[in-house]
Amino acid sequence: MNPESIANAAATVVTSLGTFIGIASRRKRWRSEIRENLSLAEELEKNALIRDHTPALAWLHGKITLDVAKLSGQPLGTPKKPIPWGSVAFSFIVALAFGYWTYYLDEEGFVWYSIFPGAVAALLLISIMGSFVNREIPPESGNEFPEGAVPVRSNDASEQISRAVAVASMGSNDRYDEDGQLGVAFRFAAHVMAGDFDAAADLVDVNWLRCRIQAWLWNNEDEFGRDHDSLAVLAEAVLLKRNDHALWGDFTSSEIATFQEGWAYLDPETLGGASRRRRVARDYDLVVLAPVGESGGYYVNSATIVPGALTFLMRRYEGRWLLASHLTSAPPAPGFPPVWWVVGDPSVEALED
């Protein structure tokens, strides 16, 4: 026997055996790699520069999550439509029949009319092939993102998980808690859209509420007049007594109608909060809420105009975060009319020079 042939055969056997062993030990290698990456993640946690100023830790956590999903058999990637096996089987049988018919017609030589059953058989085979390709279910449409925004959700499982980890790492602080800056803003918007102004009023700075009452009195001059002193006394009475004052119900009904008309496009269940903290002054933070639809959120890498966004100024007062302004980055100034620091305010435009 030729020694070279023996060597080639032995090499083939060893290669095949190595491949089999590699497949059999893949799960073991995954476990080992996960353990090593977890240890590496603990080391990176100790490095303040990498932890606080780079996304390296989020990338590593995303890879660990993917490896664990593969190890546990969790399906990843874009969901696919099921294969219609009944239609495939029927089409295959019919294609086989037309194919045999074509063969029968051309058995003794090509005849031109065999093109018709042959074409039917070919089209059926193409339709069968179409049942096995392009089965990915496209993501729901209708989510409009600002220019430069990157959605958290992605058709690619790796991107989807790594982006989710990155967003979680950016927003993993108490600002999203129920009593945090963003949590209070979310609750305020939800109460207003639900028509519960009393609950919303418990989440606002008294200065904001005073200005809202003053604006309502000023805008109803036919009923309350324009005397500043009497309006100031009336506004303080409504502010202090609230539900015990005869005008409180009319005021809150007007406020709910105004906000619900202005925020008609909003669904509180699909609002997302900007993760970066925006400090305006001591005890004042600016928060941004924006509709994200069913997208799961998005993130941006540069200054971006976000359509439909709500900007709230939040104030920390006596250990609580309260809404200080719903229009600008400055708290309103009481008066008749109150100052909202908004260009084009109709009440201000109508004032005499």
Give 215-282 as a 3 state SS string.
Answer: HHHHHCHHHHCCCHHHHHHHHHHHHHHHHHCCCHHHHHHHHHHHHHHHCCCCCHHHEEECCCCEEEEC
For residue 341, the one-letter residue type is W
Beta bridge partners of 320: 317
Range 271-309 burial, b when 16+ CB lie within 10 A, else e? bbbbbeeeebeeebbbbbbbbbbebbbbbbeeeeebeee
State the CB neighbour count (10 A cutoff) for residue 243. Answer: 8
Assigned token pair, 297? 């959120």
Q: What is the pLDDT along the chain (353 residues), one digit of tens a residue?
A: 455 555 555 556 555 555 545 555 777 888 888 899 889 988 888 888 877 677 777 778 777 877 887 777 766 655 677 888 888 889 889 989 998 899 888 888 888 888 898 898 899 889 888 888 877 665 554 445 555 444 544 445 555 554 455 445 544 457 778 888 999 999 999 999 999 999 999 999 999 999 999 999 999 988 999 999 999 999 999 999 999 999 999 999 999 999 999 988 888 777 777 777 889 999 999 998 887 765 555 554 444 445 567 889 999 999 999 999 998 899 999 999 999 998 888 888 888 87
CA diameter of the chain: 118
Identity of the amino acid at 171 = G
- Whole-angstrom Cα distance, residue 162 to residue 134? 25
Amino acid making up residue 329: S
Q: CA 124, CA 264: separation in Å to the nearest integer?
A: 51
176 secondary structure, DSSP code:
G
Q: Is 298 helix (H, G, I), strand (E, B) or coil?
A: strand
pTM: 0.56
Structure-token pair, residue 102:
């074509």
First to last CA, the chain: 113
